[in-house]
Each structure stands twice: as structure tokens, then as C-alpha cells.
Amino acid sequence: MNGALSLEQAPPISVPLRFFLTLPAFGALAAFILLWAGADALASRWHPATLAISHLVMLGMFCMVMFGAMFQMLPVLAGVRAPWPRLTGGSCHVLLTGGTLLLAIAFLSGATALFVVAAAMLGLAVAVFAGVIGNGLLRAPQPAASVRGMRWALLGLVVTAIAGITLALGYGLPGMTLLRHPLTDLHLAWGLVGWVAALIVVVAFQVVPMFQMTEPYPHRLRRWLAPSLFVLLTWLSLAVSGLVPGSAAATLALATLLAAFALQTLLLLARRRRRVRDTSLYFWRFGMLSLSLSTLLFGLLQLFPTRPDSRLPLALAVLFVAGFGLSIVFAMLYKIVPFLVWLHLQQRLAARSVAVRGYRAPAMRAVLSDAPVRRHLALHLAAVALLLGSLWLPLLVRISAALWLAGLVLLAGNLAGAMRCYIKQSRRIDQLGDGPVCD
């Protein structure tokens, strides 16, 4: 864990929050499509609804929160200010939002021109993001393990984007020939492991000890896990291309590393020093259990191949994306957003010297209480369980989608409540009013 956080260099609160507050809308849109398509969305990975849902989740939820998190963490962890954070962050947000919407519409409608426009917008979003964040990470004066890990995750995003843009152009330009299946598999591997999992790993190294009051992760794990994932993914890419042998060994090694991270996180959480009840802890535990199960299932599928009509590969995807990825995203949001509200209120207080008048910024639990977070956890667990069950009992699909939608509406309300608290307290600070009330 980096002990020298440069909190005073944090960007304006609007920079990360615009990404965080957009996430529930894309999740709700994905849930609506699942409600509309029903079991057809789980019939094939190539179904238009499946492709639209998966990209709404990966781009509109994962990328959205990761972009916001990295704009926030760059100056705090690396001690380097991003140039024009409102402009660069706002540009990335607009391009990512527009490109994701157009890509989903393109999958559902088959409009080839939209694939080209979406590819251009998303490519530009990644280019701006990688340029701003990458430049900052390279300029970090004393890069800690988290900063070095973020560099590897950013490289994973660039590789994922190149493959994804190539695939999108293949849809949009009929004369363009592609080896679509192997390129799609590599796009998935780099996106899920090289970008999403790698960045979750790196962020966990910082936020798990910070917010869950655990011991730091072992030094070797912090130093070597992210680059090891990148090396193994490169090996896998070369093996799939036929340039080197050992694709099975590379995939099993990737699964082993992720399982080791999951088990280490569960061990740290079990030994946490903080005993106060905290629902975000259960999101973390469920996410790590899902990651452990998905790596185990992945290993079994590599050793014992199944029939083409087996539902186990889809179960693996549900466990990894919904069980692991989304659980950790929700856990992070429920800690990072209240922390940002508290931090920026503290900075406003310091700037106005209001503290001497007896005015205190609200604690994080006052910004966002635990009760609504528990309700979201219950909906999330039920939705994941029903989505898994729907692979064998299709009538559960729409029930699961309805629960996803309810959970995302609740998430939106929870985040909006935190923002209302920030706005209310900011006005009180400006007026030098009474003590904080966040209802």
C-alpha cells in the first residue's frame, strides 16, 4: 500500500463522479435488453442482444468506473496532475458514453455505419485517456507498486481497444476480412484479464487495506502480479497465433494467478482489524469467492473439455463478469464516492477556514448509510444466483433481469443521495451555516 497519498492533488469532484454516476444508466439499459430478449440472450455468444449487453456492461459499467477511478487515482497515487482534468475527463466521458450507446445500437440493428462511428468514438476515448493517464504514470517521480501496476493495466486496455476496434470495423466495412473467432477470443482475454481484472487487482492493493483496515498485500504479489498477467496474455496471444506453443499452459497459469489473488484477498479480509459492520465487505467477499469459483471452473474446462452445447462456459462468464467484476465495482463505488464527498468537503472547509467555527464535514457513513447498501447487496446476490440458474432454467432470465434493474435503480439512488449531501454541505459551507445533515 502506498503510504504517501497526495490527497491535496485530487482532481475536482466532478471529474470522477461524472463517470461513476453514468454507470447505473448503462447497467439499467443492459437489464432492459435482457428483459426484452429473455432466454435468447443466453443462447449464443454471437446473438445481437448478447453482444449489446456484454458491451454495455464492459464499456458502460467497467470502463466507465475504471476511467473515473484512474482520473482520481493518478494525482493521488502518482503525485502527478492530469492536464486540464475537466476538459480531458469530460471529453473521455462524452466519447465513451456516445461510442458505447452507438455500438449497442449497431449490434441490435445491424447498421454497419454505426460500427464505424462507434469504433472512431471509442478509439478516440481510449487514445485521450491512455495519453493523459499514461503520460502521468510515466512521469510519476517515485512510482509505487500500484502505479507500476496501473501502467500494465493501461497497456492491457490499449491492446483490448485495438482488437475491439478492428472487430467493429470488420462489422462496419464488409470488404474487410478477419479471423473473427480467434481475434474475438483474444479481445475477450485481454479485456477481462488484461484490463478489468488487472486494474481491479491494482486498485485492490490500495483500497482494501485503506477502506477495509487490513494488512497490506504481500510485497511480491503487489510487485509481480500485474506484469505476470501481461506476460502470460502476450504468451497466450502468440500461442493462439501459432507462433509459440503452450496456449493451455498460459491459460492455466493465468487462472492460477487470479485464484492466488482471490484467496489472498479473502485471507486479508478475514483478518481485518476493523470489526464495524460494513456491507461493502460482503461485496468484496462475494466477488473474491466468485473469482475463485470461476478460475476453478476454467481450469476444469481446460482439462476436461465439454460438449459444444454445454452451459458451463456461460456459467464461467456469469461468475467472472457479474459475480466477480460487478461485485467489486459496487464495493469500490460504495467506498470511493462517500470518501470523495468527505475529502472535497474537507478541502472546502480548509480553504474557507470554517473548521475554527465548529463546523465539521460529515463522516463517510453519514454521507451514505449502510441500510440501502444492504438492500442492493441482497438484490445483487439474488440476481447473480438467478442468472446462473437461468442457464439451465430459462424462465428465470427475466426475473434475474428485473432484479438487476431494481438493484441498479437502488445504486443510482444511493449515489444520488451522496451527491445531494455534497451539494447541501457545500452550500452550508458557503453560508457558514449549521452542522452537517445528510438526509
* Residue of 180, 192, 201 lying closest to 69 (CA atoms): 201
* Residue of 423, 288, 398, 424 lying closest to 34 (CA atoms): 398
Return the C-alpha torsion angle 63, 64, 69, 70, nearest 10: 50
Q: What angle, rounded to 10 degrees, do the helices at 14-37 and 397-431 form?
A: 160
Backbone angles phi, psi at 392, to 5 degrees: -115, -15
Give the residue ranges of the chain where pLDDT is below 50.
1-4, 356, 435-437, 439
CA angle at 55 for the pair 146 and 158, rounded to the nearest 5°? 40
* Residue of 335, 316, 371 lying closest to 65 (CA atoms): 335
pLDDT of residue 196: 95
Cα separation, 428 vs 425, whole angstroms: 5
Query: For 38, what's the count of Cα atoms within 13 Å in the CB-facing half-sphere?
Result: 3
Amino acid at 204: A
pTM strictly above 0.85: yes
Largest CA distance in the chain: 71
* Residue of 9, 3, 21, 1 lying closest to 336 (CA atoms): 21
Q: Per the structure block, which three cell numbers stand in for 437?
A: 445533515
Cα separation, 253 vs 147, whole angstroms: 24
Q: Where are the domains of the chain?
A: 13-350+363-420
CA 179, chain centre distance (Å):
28
pLDDT of residue 358: 61
Cα separation, 101 vs 413, whole angstroms: 22
pLDDT of residue 1: 45
Q: What is the CA radius of gyration of the chain?
A: 21
CATH class entry, domain 13-350+363-420:
mainly alpha
| 146 in Cβ contact with 205 (< 8 Å) | yes
Tell me the C-alpha to C-alpha distance, in Å, between residue 317 and each of 45, 185, 254, 312: 10, 13, 16, 9
Cα separation, 289 vs 37, whole angstroms: 29
In three-state form (DSSP H/G/I as H, E/B as E, the rest C), the secondary structure along 153-222 is HHHHHHHHHHHHHHHHHHHHCCCCCCCHHHHHHHHHHHHHHHHHHHHHHHHHHHHHHHHHCCCCCCHHHH
Element (H, E) at 360: none
Cα separation, 339 vs 199, whole angstroms: 20
**DSSP conformation letters of 307-330:** -TT-SHHHHHHHIIIIIIIIHHHH
pLDDT of residue 8: 61
pLDDT of residue 3: 47
Length of the chain: 439
Residue with cell 491494482: 202
Q: What separation, in Å, do the N-terminal and C-terminal C-alpha atoms of the chain show?
A: 34
Residue with cell 443510482: 412
